[in-house]
Amino acid sequence: MTDTLPTRAPSNALAIDPDRLWASLMELARIGAYDDPATGLVGVNRQSLTDADAEGRRLLVRWMEEAGLEVTIDEMGTIFGRREGLEPDLALIMAGSHIDSVATAGAFDGCLGVLGALEVIRSLNDAGIATRRPIVIAAFTEEEGVRFGTDMLGSAVAAGRLTLEYAYDLVDDAGLRFGDELERIGFRGDRPVRLDPPHAYVECHIEQGPVLAQEGYAVGIVTGVQAISWQKVTLHGRAAHAGTTPTELRIDAGLAAAQVIVHVREMVDSGRYGRLRATVGHVTTSPGLPSVVPDRAELTVDLRNPDDGHMAAAEADLAAFLDGLPARQPGLRVETKRMAKTRQVPFDPGVQDAAAASAHDLGLPTMRLMSGAGHDAQEIAAIAPTAMIFVRGQHDGISHNPREYSTPDDCAAGIAVLGTTLLRLAEEADA
């Protein structure tokens, strides 16, 4: 859906410094940088609670303090930077995202939302603008979920969907506990983790998809986030010699894993589940030897759907298929573990309209679209009016890859919309 407001000369727009924004993004991207052999590019590997993440956090804290923000850190390690308002007792306006990455990231996912919000604060300082309400930047811990298996972890605990105890007891593939790693890197704060509901929350993010580029828009207004389901499936078979064991006597965990992969694609292609997307992004087998039938296979199944009913039906189909696998191979044992589950989340129409009006003030046409990826905004939407601003990506919007790229002009456009939206919301009176 296109926002067709006529453009006009900016009157309520906040001017930002595009060069400073870009320089901040590039400096943070150097932390955790690596040479990616698949693309020949420099990527970013700054997974949550690693030493690289700790270095990035320290840089962010320094930048926040240099901008005059009051910095606090909560029990989950989420970093908050507060710019005081003229009426400090009013509910605050919050903007943010995350700076942790997947193992093969680019420079923009999450970081644009955090460093863009910081650029908004710097620009307010430059212009000598005071706001009625306080404005707070949030950099949430472990949004990606790649290390500890649960995405949007910091914001989910902050909003009350998950408990602090649950988060602390999560372990990574090496058996390292989240709570211990948070302590190790020095970012286990004492600020209570449960958030007081802000007046509004706005998150700017790269789209991570091709829609804005295809439709010719630099900026989009996000209407909500589709439902997400993550499961880990472990298949237990029986090891056997690859050359001497007859096919009919095998309990092949690797074969069962392949059947699951094919089935989830068939679910998508069937059309029975609306706009379902399904991905098996992780597969391992053991003992992992060329001459041994696998006795164990582990895989993850990622389901996404903008409709909760279609998602429930797809999950039921997958569960029935997994239950039927032992009938195909008697003796096979199937275990499933829920990693993440969120319903479709609609964003607040009023905050969406504020962002669209801000784009209008800047002379930027926009369209409205749903997010296919999960974001911290979907968690904060449970406690406060929330919306997101998307920025166009290049290369078909590829993300979670070193080819991830958004131009300096498009990043600046998105953050100008963010800043003008925050300025608009920060002047609102209580209802």
Asked if 229 and 341 count as a contact pair (C-beta separation under 8 A), the reply is yes
- pLDDT-derived band at 372, boundaries 50, 70, 90: confident
Sorting pLDDT into bands at 50, 70 and 90, what band is 204?
A: very high
**CA pair distance 53, 65, nearest whole angstrom:** 18
Please tell me whether residue 401 adopts helix, strand or coil conformation. coil
Instruction: Provide CATH 3.30.70.360 ranges for the chain.
Output: 228-342
The string of pLDDT tens digits covering residues 84-128 is 999 999 999 999 999 999 999 999 999 999 999 999 999 999 999
How many CB atoms are located within 10 Å of the residue 285 CB?
A: 20
Q: How confident is the model at residue 430 (pLDDT cuts 50, 70, 90)?
A: confident
Fold of the domain spanning 228-342? Alpha-Beta Plaits (3.30.70)
Model confidence at 2: pLDDT above 70: no
What is the pLDDT averaged over residues 398-412? Answer: 96
pLDDT band per the 50, 70, 90 thresholds, residue 6: very low
In angstroms, the CA 8 to CA 13 distance is: 11
Q: In this structure, how many other beta carbons lie within 10 angstroms of the beta carbon of residue 205?
A: 27
pLDDT at 334: 98
Q: pTM for the complete prediction?
A: 0.86
Q: Give yes or no for residue 209 having a pLDDT over 70.
A: yes
Predicted local confidence at residue 3, as pLDDT: 56
Residue 134's closest CA among 200, 189, 75, 57?
200
Mean pLDDT calculated for residue range 69-95: 98
Please give the pLDDT value at position 323.
96
Q: How many other CB atoms are found less than 10 A from the CB of residue 316?
A: 10
Q: How far apart are CA 13 and CA 421, in angstroms?
A: 9
Which residue intervals of the chain bear CATH 3.40.630.10? 2-224+344-426
Distance CA 211, CA 209 (A): 6
Which pLDDT band, with edges at 50, 70 and 90, does 9 fall under? very low
Residues counted in the chain: 431
Q: What is the pLDDT of residue 8?
A: 31
The pLDDT > 90 percentage for the chain reads: 94
pLDDT for res 268: 97
Spatial neighbors of 136 by CB under 8 A, at least 6 apart, are 80, 81, 82, 83, 92, 93, 94, 95, 96, 198
Return mean pLDDT, the chain: 95
- Does the structure show a pLDDT above 60 at 14? yes
Q: Would you say 396 and 403 are in contact if contact means Cβ atoms under 8 Å apart? A: no
Q: Region 423-431: what's the mean pLDDT?
A: 90
Average pLDDT for 328-332: 95
Q: Is the pLDDT of residue 7 over 60?
A: no
Report, as an integer, the average pLDDT of 128-147: 96
With beta carbons less than 8 A apart as the criterion, state whether 117 and 201 touch. Answer: no
Q: Which CATH architecture has domain 2-224+344-426?
A: 3-Layer(aba) Sandwich (3.40)
DSSP per position, 203-268? EEEE--SSHHHHHT-SEEEEEEE-EEEEEEEEEE-B-EETTTS-GGG-B-HHHHHHHHHHHHHHHH
- In this prediction, residues 317-323 reach a mean pLDDT of 97
Write down the pLDDT at residue 4.
43
